[in-house]
Amino acid sequence: MPESAQSARRRIRNGPSTESRILDTAENLFAAYGFDAVSISQLATAAGVTIGALYHHFASKEALYAAVARRVFTAKSIPPAAVTEPVGTPRVRLTRLISWFAGTLILDKNFGLLLMRELLDPRPAMPELIGQELFRGQFDLCKELLRELVPGVNADEAVASTVALLFGFTNLKGMQAILPGIRNSFERPEAISERIVSLLLHGLQQDDVH
C-alpha cells in the first residue's frame, strides 16, 4: 500500500535532522579518508542532500569539518570521575588514565582516526581545540603524574611518547599477522596501559640515569 503523505511527513519529522545526517556522514568520510580527500559533492551525495542544502547548514567544508571534530572530540573529552580521582599511587593513577583512553580509542574508531589525523597533520584551529580547550585537563594530569614518577622529566615529551605508544598499541592488528607472538596481548585496554606505563617509565628512568 502506498505510503500516505501524512505518514511520510511523520517519518521524516521523526528521523534524524538534516544537519545531524550531514554530520554523521561527514564524520565517517573524514575519519576514513581525511579532510583533503573528501569533496563537498561526495559529502552531499553520501548524506542524501543537495550541495545547496549542505551549504545552508555549514558555510564551508572547513566549517563542517570543524563541527565534526568538535562534536567527536567533545564527546570523548571528559573521563569518568573514577578515572581522575586521586586514589592510588601515581603509577596506578597513570595506568588508570591511559587504560581509559586506550579503551576510548578501541571502541570509537572514528574518534581514534580523526584524532590521529589531527596530531599528524593538524587543521588550523585544531591544536588549540585539542590541547587547550578539550583535553587540557587530561594532559595536565598526565604531566603531573609523570613528574611525580620521574622528577625532572620533560613532561611534554613524556606525554607525546605516551600518546605515540597509545596509537601504536591500539593499532597493532596488521602486526599480528607478522608477529603472531603479540596476538591477544594487546586486546584489553588494561593490558595496553600496563605495557605502555612499563615501557615509558623504564625509558624515562634510563634517560634520567644518563
Quick one: 5-71 is in which CATH superfamily?
A: Homeodomain-like (1.10.10.60)
Domain 76-209 class, CATH top level: mainly alpha
| Model pLDDT, residue 11 | 39
Distance CA 150, CA 196 (A): 15
| Model pLDDT, residue 208 | 56
Q: Which residues of the chain have pLDDT under 70?
A: 1-16, 183-185, 206-210
pTM (2 decimals)?
A: 0.83
Measure Cα distances from 87 to 18, 55, 62, 91, 121 in Å: 45, 49, 42, 11, 36
Distance CA 6, CA 198 (A): 62
| Model pLDDT, residue 200 | 92
| Model pLDDT, residue 171 | 82
Residues of the chain with CATH 1.10.10.60: 5-71
Backbone angles phi, psi at 58, to 5 degrees: -135, 125
Residues of the chain with CATH 1.10.357: 76-209
| Model pLDDT, residue 7 | 44
